[in-house]
Amino acid sequence: MSNYNVAMMDIHSPLSLIPNTHTSTVAKLKKLGLHTFQDLLSYFPVRYVDYRLTSKIGQVQAGETVTVSGRVKESKNHHVRRNFSIQKVTIFDETGELELTWFNQPYIVRMTPPNAVIAAAGTIERQGGSLIMKPIEYEVQKPGSLQGVHTGRIVPIYAQRFGLTSRLLREKIAWVLAHTRYDNMIDWLPDDIRSRHNLLEYSKTIRAIHAPKNDHDIAVARRRLSFDELFTLHISALVVRQNWQKKSVIRQLVLTPAITKHIETFVHGLPFSLTKSQKDAWLHILRDLQKQSPMNRLLQGDVGSGKTVVASLASFFVALQGLSTLFMCPTEVLAKQHADTLQRLFENHKDISIKLVTSRSTAMLNDQKPSIIVGTHALIASTRSFENVGLIIIDEQHRFGVVQRGLLKEKGGIPHVLTMTATPIPRTVALTIFGDLDMSVLYDKPSGRKTTKTYVVPDTKREKAYAWIAMMMQTHGTQTYIVCPRIEQNDTDDASAETVGSMRAAVAEAKRLQENVFPQFRVGLLHGKLKASEKDTVMQKFTKRELDILVTTTVVEVGIDVPNATIMMIEGAERFGLAQLHQLRGRVGRNEKQSYCLLFTSDGVKHSARLHFFAKTTDGMRLAEYDFKQRGSGDIYGTAQSGHSSVLQMASIFDYELVARAKDAAYDFLKEYSPLKHPLVAKRLEKLQSNRVTKD
Ligand code: ADP
Ligand code: MG
């Protein structure tokens, strides 16, 4: 079918109606929860690259990021060696010739036969005596196809998931924008709120976010979408709070003198004494647990502040009443680790059973003995009845409130809920956006901890750094994490990892390090695509010091606790948000020894101000704030905020002005809100509530 003169299509059409869309693509989009054109338009870019500057071939200059177009003169595939080939395509216009170079993408040659007209975008480099480009984006101009989708404009970058590439998503979204009347889409946000807070209309927002003409477009679109998130979250939190207060617990727990004694003995038996904050938090929790109304408390504490032991005290108290605890973790690796920790803590309490539930088994709660059941977030879905469950602990949850909303649907009594997070949340914001939660904060770190020394290391010192790490491991018996930003060249299940750079793939990197750099040490590999049992084995080995080096992706980001590891080296550090780097760095500095964090970048000095700030700052809250301010000051092309452990996709909790506006709007709105009167708002709330928890 020709794309010219197609009648405008309905925004509710199924995605299979987009021309040249394979059924497997439709299936993948479905996995993302995208079914209709309208759904697709709500999949927003994570960042942008500016390819607006176009140039005649004869006028390009080294270092310039530019779009060029021309006719193909010659297109050749050079097979260099196994698994390595170079594609060279020469294009020309009336002013000159330019060589475009790709690596390991032989299909490029098929796409660019002589005489084809192509546009390519990237940075001009000097190679030998001539200028070349290694295009980041390109497009072949064909009659009837959309032009200027991947080049010649501010190009949106989409998070790549389930094998959907940013390029494919960009193509489909551009097609939908060109072929639907999205401009008369109804705005779900009531008009008066929109105008009072000076927010862009929804349809204009959709255009501006996917096809911005300039930076201003992006800024106003993001402001509107951020408001949407904050407003929805706020209403949802208020509704949860109202309903939560009407609930009661399965059985009220009591603190008898005998139980007090048990707990004291338990605390004395710990290998350390609790910090002041840990004691305070525990007292808050203990008070909550004795109430008739279920607890809904957030325990916030920076990485390494010792949240786990507070959680185990809570589960101990619950077990002493004959009730079980569900302990939910974001990853299986972490679940295994927590199960081991609890096993050790409860060694002298054989009457409490610790169970690890993996993705293949389901929770069995029919025992006589109270249990602490540890598993991933899927745990709650596999729990049929909460009859014997006194407490649910949620460690490092990606989305707040999911479990709570599920529990509100229960007919009878419900368990207490304790949520733990290392995400820095300013107190005032927590009390507004997460208004459904009470909050305890661990301000102080366990004593005797040194701050982790952090350095931004230039690539020229790489060999020296390796030698130093080897020396440290040799003489101090310490262990090292080496973090790579992604698994393999084309695996980009991560918002921040989609462009081709010099990032080292973890798999290849582990091999290289073992063979060429650290032959005398034992190198292990951990990444998200390993089977659960394989991850397990690797983690066990690292914990038991049967491995010296763990090469890993960001799966180590959350919660992993191996105190003997005191060195962390991060590759492609500029790819990460500061909050994420902080999480990663939190894996070291877990005992009284001096720890080190070495940051390597894949593209030199460009982001070093940010990284230097990181190197000298240890406060997670300040780091998160810094990242937000940078984005706020127009750094829209920079590192995307990682979806990991971030509560919001578009908005930032450090945007105090917008948070306050959303709060006021939500309070006012709730006074008159009814799902019947505001069906679109009701639908958005529903969508927020059905958002699945991200899987490991
Ligand atoms: P997080 O808050 O990041 O989840 P963890 O609970 O994993 O932190 O605790 C980090 C480390 O600190 C663990 O090895 C734990 O045993 C230890 N720890 C916890 N509390 C204390 C304390 N009061 N004194 C000394 N070490 C502690
Ligand atoms: Mg933890």
pLDDT, tens only, 513-550: 999 999 999 999 988 778 878 888 998 899 999 999 99
Whether the pLDDT of residue 374 is over 90: the answer is yes
Nearest alpha carbon, ligand 1 atom 17:
306
Q: How many CB atoms are closer than 10 A to CB 563?
A: 16
In this prediction, residues 221-240 reach a mean pLDDT of 90
Q: Which residues contact 75 (CB under 8 A, 6 or more apart)?
A: 87, 88, 89, 90, 108, 109, 112, 113, 114
Ion ligand 2 — residues with CB < 5 Å: 559
What pLDDT is stored for residue 428 in this prediction? 76
pTM summary value: 0.77
How far does the centroid of ligand 2 lie from the alpha carbon of residue 401, in Å?
19
Rg of the chain, C-alpha, whole Å: 27
Q: Which residues pair with 54 in a beta bridge?
A: 67
What pLDDT is stored for residue 354 in this prediction? 93
Q: How far apart are CA 439 and CA 430, in angstroms?
A: 8
CA end-to-end span of the chain, whole Å? 41
Q: Which residues pair with 139 in a beta bridge?
A: 119
DSSP string computed for 341-381: HHHHHTTT-TTSEEEEE-TTS------SS-EEEEEEGGGGT
What pLDDT is stored for residue 367 in this prediction? 60
Nearest alpha carbon, ligand 1 atom 25:
446
How far does the centroid of ligand 2 lie from the alpha carbon of residue 303, in Å?
7
Q: How many CB atoms are closer than 10 A to CB 382?
A: 14
Task: Find the ligand nearest to 590 CA.
Answer: 1
Classify 666 in phi/psi space as left (phi over 0), alpha (psi -120 to 50) or beta: alpha
* DSSP helix/strand/coil, 624: helix
How far does the centroid of ligand 2 lie from the alpha carbon of residue 453, in Å?
21
What pLDDT is stored for residue 82 in this prediction? 85
Closest ligand 1 atom to residue 301 Cα is: 2
What pLDDT is stored for residue 694 in this prediction? 35
Tokens of 283: 């007292």
* DSSP helix/strand/coil, 310: helix
Ligand 1 first shell, C-beta below 6 A: 272, 274-275, 278, 301, 303-309, 422, 446, 559, 561, 563, 590
What pLDDT is stored for residue 344 in this prediction? 92
Q: Which of 267, 307, 308, 588 to mutate to test the pocket of ligand 1 (most atoms within 8 A of CB)?
A: 308
Nearest alpha carbon, ligand 1 atom 23:
274
pLDDT, tens only, 5-14: 456 888 899 9
How far does the centroid of ligand 1 lie from the alpha carbon of residue 69, in Å?
58
DSSP string computed for 23-64: HHHHHHHHHTT--BHHHHHTS--SEEEE---B--GGG--TT-
What pLDDT is stored for residue 415 in this prediction? 95
Q: Which residues contact 618 (CB under 8 A, 6 or more apart)?
A: 451, 452
What mean pLDDT is reported for the chain? 86
Tokens of 512: 């290289």
Q: How far apart are CA 627 and CA 48, in angstroms?
A: 17
Query: Which position has the token pair 């032991």?
Result: 309
Task: Find the ligand nearest to 272 CA.
Answer: 1
DSSP 491: -
Handedness of CA 35, 38, 39, 45 (dihedral sign): positive
Nearest alpha carbon, ligand 1 atom 26:
446
Closest ligand 1 atom to residue 590 Cα is: 11
DSSP string computed for 515-538: III-TTS-EEEE-TTS-HHHHHHH
In this prediction, residues 685-690 reach a mean pLDDT of 74
Q: How far apart are CA 135 and CA 150, in angstroms?
A: 11
How far from 438 is each of 252, 309, 349, 681, CA to CA, in Å? Answer: 19, 19, 31, 26
How far does the centroid of ligand 2 lie from the alpha carbon of residue 300, in Å?
10
Q: Which of 268, 279, 305, 418 to mutate to test the pocket of ligand 1 (most atoms within 8 A of CB)?
A: 305
How far does the centroid of ligand 2 lie from the alpha carbon of residue 266, in Å?
20
Q: Which residues contact 265 (CB under 8 A, 6 or more apart)?
A: none
Handedness of CA 145, 64, 581, 489 (dihedral sign): positive
